[in-house]
Chains A and B, each alone.
Chain A
Amino acid sequence: MPVTVSPHPSDCELRVTARPIVNTPVIDGANMRFTSTQIGLSGFATLLGSPGDSAMGFNVGFIQAQYVETNWCSYRAAASADGSILVQRGRAPARSQRACRDCVDGTSVTSIFYNTNVAFGEIAPGNRGQPFPQVLRVRHFDQPAETCPLRLRNTLTGQMNLLHEAQLEFLFCALLSVKDPFARFRHLMGVYWNTRWQYTFQQPGFRPIINPAGTGSTVGTPFRGDPSDLRFASVLTSPAETKSCNDIFRAAAGAFNPGSPNRHESRVWTDFSVTVP
């Protein structure tokens, strides 16, 4: 079946409608919770075709990759003799060092698109019987977040160690893409964005002290065309990806378990190197 319908390479738009603002971490039950406000994007793509062509099977939507994750938490007891702990959730073996494809819970990572539930407006199907050009509008929402336990028991000293410092960085690229009926993708536009937190916590009460250099958010200028960024190009549409970023980083919580190679304990207060796994 010849397909003459195709996306217009330049008659498209990607607009930033909301920039994330990083919140101060808050205590949430037994955890410290790191959140931000939303990133919002809106966009459209234009499908070209001839009279009699059908746009059925085409979809416009967002694809998102996360290409950098920094994720460590350090813990200290009240006295040096009660020990300290570093937990590295962002490095192997807790997680692989490569990028991942980001899909919401409820959307399979094999669907490629970020969110295939049409009720959210993240995906727009081409219409059969509608004249060309067809303008398909979509929007994108994300609000990444993370938690760290407030307390861990140091297995060397037997004492409870309290959350002392955390650094979290999530770097993403979101793409406005068109999928044709043969499951081929064309990336029309994209934007880089990130959220970052670096805080120390003072006792009593885990009072958060910001490190301004490590805290904030950035949204880049939308760009046109296929991204050539080798840090994540291979995961954008690969059918080999079986786990979403949510799946991968939830599994990385195993780094907190005693005996994990990503958990480093000391009998005294230690300034751990955060470059270790």
Chain B
Amino acid sequence: MDRLQRYRSLTIACTLLAIIAVFSASCSKLSSQAAKREDPNETILLRNLDTPGAFELENRGPAIALYSEVVVQRLENGIWQDEVANVTLTDFCVWDPKPGCQTFEHSAKFRPVPWTGLVCGGQCGMTCRANAYLGPGQCRFVVTTCDRKRRFYGPTFTLPDYEHSVLNKKR
């Protein structure tokens, strides 16, 4: 009997510990995401433009070097997931783009070529045989410092379904 009570106590304690661990992990993940989204003192401000996938970057702090590859995140089951999308900080499509870093002076504003939502060649033309479209869904852009240590999160935007995207317009 005494043994059974000890076993029950141990089971309850383990269950409580597991619940606390899961709860605190979820909270810290959510709070860190929220903090990253809402920090009013963020050096790099990402601003969505009218067309989904078009955005502007503004440097409100001192000069900063940013990595050219932009991460696209999609909200899946309440969690932001990094997606493969081949988006870069470029305002002109070159033949042979190379990843690198770009310095933005204080108060610099920059509008990259808009992204259409395609995984391959959604911004600048690419060699694509297989392709995928990330919409419909909630997305956001994330830029990183050159050393990849800091991330700056843009506001959420809604990528429409393919039929309502810019891709479905006959050119």
- How far is it, in angstroms, between the C-alpha of A232 and the C-alpha of B127 when the chains are bound? 21
- Asked if A246 and B171 make an inter-chain contact with CB atoms under 8 angstroms apart, the answer reads no
For the complex, give the distance between the alpha carbons of A102 and B130 in Å: 6
Q: Is B130 a contact of A37 with CB atoms below 8 Å?
A: no
User: How far is it, in angstroms, between the C-alpha of A23 and the C-alpha of B169 when the chains are bound?
Assistant: 10
Q: Which of B81, B93, B120 contacts A145 (CB 8 A)?
A: B120
Question: In whole angstroms, how far apart are the Cα atoms of A160 and B132 in the complex?
Answer: 36
Bound-state CA distance A106–B83 (Å) is 8
Q: What's the minimum C-beta distance from A127 to chain B, rounded to whole angstroms? A: 18
Q: With an 8 A cutoff between CB atoms, is B96 at the interface? A: yes
A-facing residues in B117-133 (Cβ within 8 Å): 118-121, 124-133
If A21-B170, A24-B171 touch, whether A253 touches B129 (CB-CB below 8 Å) is no
Shortest B84–chain A CB gap in Å is 4
Provide the main secondary structure of the chain B interface: loop
CA distance A170 to B129 in the complex (A): 8
Chain A residues near B162 (CB-CB < 8 A): 38, 40, 141
Give the contacting residue for B131; candidates A33, A117, A142; CB below 8 A: A142
Note all chain A residues with C-beta closer than 8 A to B93: 28-31
The interface residues of chain B lying within 8 Å CB-to-CB of A38 are 133, 162, 167-168
Contact residues in B for A40 (Cβ distance below 8 Å):
162
Note all chain B residues with C-beta closer than 8 A to A250: 126-127
Give the residue name and chain of the A residue nearest to B86 (CB): A105
CB-based nearest B residue for A66 = B129
Encoded as 1 (CB less than 8 Å from any B CB) or 0, chain A from 118 to 132 comes to 011010000000000
Residue contact A145 to B126, C-beta cutoff 8 Å: yes
B contact residues around A149 at 8 Å (CB): 95
Alpha-carbon separation in the docked complex, A64 to B131 (Å): 11
Residue from A33, A34, A142, A256 in contact with B130 in the complex, judged by beta carbons closer than 8 Å? A142
Contacts A35-B121, A105-B119, A147-B121 given; 14 further ones with Cβ under 8 A?
A29-B92, A29-B124, A30-B92, A64-B130, A104-B119, A105-B84, A106-B83, A143-B131, A145-B120, A145-B131, A146-B125, A147-B95, A172-B129, A246-B129
Residue contacts A-B, CB under 8 angstroms, 21 given:
A31-B93, A31-B94, A31-B95, A33-B125, A35-B125, A35-B171, A40-B162, A104-B120, A105-B120, A105-B130, A114-B130, A115-B132, A119-B74, A120-B132, A145-B120, A145-B128, A146-B128, A147-B95, A147-B126, A149-B95, A246-B128
On A, residues with C-beta under 8 Å from B are 21, 23-24, 26, 28-31, 33-35, 37-38, 40, 64, 66, 100, 102-106, 114-115, 117, 119-120, 122, 141-147, 149, 170, 172, 244-246, 249-250, 252-253, 256
